[in-house]
């Protein structure tokens, strides 16, 4: 049976227009379909678990704006919070009560956070956390892991994941050699390599930054003892452990990956869900470290729109709703049903694959080897993924447009949505 093909006439026209106005036609490379070929669809609106494009097609959405819509699109509590904030004004450049209210919710939920500073993006959060680690310790060397993406910070955009991996450019022109000379790249999940690095350069290492569950080379789960080794080595050598929970914070557990795995970092970077769908980031951690930030301490970081009233309102609506609804057990159950169904469909069709899942985020890898590191993820069959992606899109299933991104399930996805998705995958693989 031939698979359907949706009409994207208006999207094609709008993409042609956008390319004349915006580099590549997109404002973030992750949207460009560079990892799957073809042109992106243009979205008109979202509602609950669905996206609607400008050609009138409806999709079951498994991106959720790349993670933040854990409760689905336009959740009533978040919309109401935003409406109330909009009536008061959009920006003041002065403190508001809402900044403290959101800070209290973050501190209450995330084990490592005793003080928190709001910023405007995940990139700002990681950049600031690295500067803070260096300023606090008086050291320069930062360890990062190949395939982890921490935003487009000069010193961290080396051996990156996410769009950089998708587009085959794990670093970028425009970054001087001096910006990365103190960045030490190690293999994710390599405990012995980590120990060797500290044995050789422990007195120089300001800190480690890592995704405690990787989402930017596909979902990669930390092996037993890896996070614990990061914690122990940083404690032993006086280095700062930074968990980049921009993706996992409030996603894999209410308190993030650090709560789920029982390993507490010194600093945590947050984003995505913390803004309820609005642009926001945050970094926080131990009081003694955070008090090195200006205006209390000498490490400078500022932002005119940091703590923006609308972003704070979105975050307050989201975190208040998550606290009240506690959707995590049900989210994980539904996600497990979905991953099992996708795995069974691929197995039945003889498609080489593996699946990694933590909570409500997962990746179906077109790679028979369990993906535990960048070197293994680099072996993924990206052509097979691209074929799968487009076939699913034409059946109304909106997946991340890269083999190296995570799939996100929301509380708005129904049992029917999950079943429809599994049925679509079975049809795709039957026609493989």
370 shares its domain with 244? no
| Residue 67, in any domain of the structure | no
Catalytic residue among 53, 244, 266, 417: 244
For the question of residue 182 being annotated catalytic, the response is no
Q: What phi and psi values does residue 214 have, to the nearest 5 degrees?
A: -70, 140
Q: Which pLDDT score, from 0 to 100, does residue 172 have?
A: 65
* Separation of CA 390 from chain center: 22
Per cent of the chain over pLDDT 70 is 96
- The string of pLDDT tens digits covering residues 51-92 is 999 999 999 999 999 999 999 999 999 999 999 999 999 999
- The string of pLDDT tens digits covering residues 339-361 is 999 999 999 999 999 999 999 99
The answer to whether residue 285 scores a pLDDT higher than 90 is yes
- The string of pLDDT tens digits covering residues 116-147 is 999 999 999 999 999 999 999 999 999 999 98
Domain count, the chain: 2
For the question of residue 149 being annotated catalytic, the response is yes
Q: Which pLDDT score, from 0 to 100, does residue 159 have?
A: 59
State how far the Cα of 322 lies from the Cα of 71, in Å rounded to an integer. Answer: 8
Catalytic residue among 144, 188, 272, 328: 272
303 shares its domain with 211? yes
315 shares its domain with 219? yes
Q: Which of 287, 306, 325 is the last residue of a domain?
A: 325
Question: What is the average pLDDT score of the chain?
Answer: 94
CATH number at residue 413: 3.90.1150.10
pTM across the whole model = 0.94
For the question of residue 300 being annotated catalytic, the response is no
* Beta strands across the sheet bearing 354-358: 354-358, 361-365, 407-408
Contact 397, 59 (CB under 8 A): yes
State how far the Cα of 177 lies from the Cα of 180, in Å rounded to an integer. Answer: 6
**Domain around 241:** 76-325
396 shares its domain with 342? yes
Per cent of the chain over pLDDT 90 is 88
Catalytic residue among 59, 62, 149, 328: 149
């Amino acid at each position: 049976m031939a698979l359907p093909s949706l009409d994207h006439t208006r999207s094609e026209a709008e993409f042609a227009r956008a390319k004349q106005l915006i580099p590549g036609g997109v404002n973030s490379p992750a949207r460009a379909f560079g990892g799957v070929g073809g042109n992106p669809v243009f979205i008109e609106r979202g509602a609950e678990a669905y996206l609607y494009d400008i050609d009138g097609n409806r999709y079951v959405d498994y991106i959720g704006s790349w993670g933040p819509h854990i409760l689905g699109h336009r959740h009533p509590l978040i919309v109401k919070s935003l409406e109330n904030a909009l009536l008061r004004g959009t920006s003041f450049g002065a403190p508001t009560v809402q900044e403290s209210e959101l800070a209290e919710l973050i501190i209450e939920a995330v084990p490592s956070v005793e003080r928190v500073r709001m910023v405007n993006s995940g990139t700002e959060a990681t950049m600031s956390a690295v500067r803070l680690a260096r300023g606090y310790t008086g050291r320069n060397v930062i360890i990062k892991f190949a395939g982890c993406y921490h935003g487009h910070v000069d010193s961290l955009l080396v051996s990156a994941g996410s769009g950089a991996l998708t587009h085959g450019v794990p670093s970028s022109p425009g970054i001087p050699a001096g910006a990365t000379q103190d960045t030490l790249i190690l293999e994710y999940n390599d405990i012995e390599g980590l120990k060797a690095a500290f044995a050789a350069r422990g007195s120089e290492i300001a800190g480690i930054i890592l995704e405690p569950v990787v989402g930017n080379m596909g979902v990669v789960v930390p092996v037993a003892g890896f996070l614990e080794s990061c914690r122990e080595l940083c404690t032993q050598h006086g280095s700062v452990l930074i968990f980049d929970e921009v993706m996992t914070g409030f996603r894999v557990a209410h308190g993030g990956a650090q709560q789920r795995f029982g390993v507490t970092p010194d600093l945590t970077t947050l984003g995505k869900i913390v803004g309820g769908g609005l642009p926001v980031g945050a970094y926080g951690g131990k009081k003694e470290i955070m008090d090195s930030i200006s205006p209390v301490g000498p490490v400078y970081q500022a932002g005119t729109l940091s703590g923006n009233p609308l972003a704070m309102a979105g975050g307050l609506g989201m975190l208040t709703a998550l606290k009240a609804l506690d959707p995590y057990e049900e989210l994980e159950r539904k996600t497990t049903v979905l991953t099992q169904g996708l795995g069974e469909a691929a197995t039945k069709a003889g498609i080489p694959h593996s699946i990694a899942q933590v909570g409500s985020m997962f990746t179906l890898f077109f790679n028979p080897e369990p993906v535990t590191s960048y070197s293994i993820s680099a072996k993924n069959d990206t052509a097979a993924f691209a074929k799968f992606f487009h076939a699913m899109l034409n059946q109304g299933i909106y997946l991340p447009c890269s083999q190296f991104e995570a799939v996100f399930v929301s509380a708005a996805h129904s049992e029917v949505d999950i079943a429809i998705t599994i049925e679509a995958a079975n049809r795709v693989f039957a026609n493989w």
